Amino acid sequence: MYSKELLKGTLNIIILKLLAHNGKMYGYEITQRVKVLSQDKIQIKEGSLYPSLHKLKDEGLVKTEEEMIGNRVRKYYSLTEKGKLSTKEKDNELQQYMGTLQNIILNQSPAS
C-alpha cells in the first residue's frame, strides 16, 4: 500500500485516465478498478474519491449521467471535451515528472 501523500497528488489523474479508458464509470466501480489494476496497492478512500469527482465536475472536466438501478440513482462519470484535453496535458506532465524523478533518483550518486 502506498502512502496517502503519494496518492493525494495523483488522484485526479488516476480518475481522469480511468474515465478516458473506460468511457463512463460510477464511484464504486472506480474504487474497485483501481484496486484490481494496482493489485491492491492503491486503495482510493471514499472520503477522497467523491470530493475529487465533484471538484472535477465543478471545473467542467467530467460530466454525469444518471441511471436508475433498482430503486436508487446511479451517477456515471465521463470526460467532457475539456476533460479529454486536460487529461492529455496532465498525462504528459505526469510522464515528464516521473522521468525527471527517475533521473534524480537513479543518477544520484552517493555523497563521497
Cβ nearer to another protein, comparing 59 with 103 = 59
Ordered alpha helix ranges (H), the chain? 4-8, 11-22, 27-37, 46-58, 81-106
Rounded Cα gap, residues 37 and 26, in angstroms: 16
Residues forming contacts to another protein in the complex (CB under 8 A) are: 26-28, 46-48, 50-55, 57-58, 64, 66, 69-75
Cβ nearer to another protein, comparing 2 with 28 = 28
Cβ nearer to another protein, comparing 36 with 111 = 36
Q: How far is the CB of 15 from another protein (least distance, A)?
A: 13
Rounded Cα gap, residues 88 and 94, in angstroms: 10
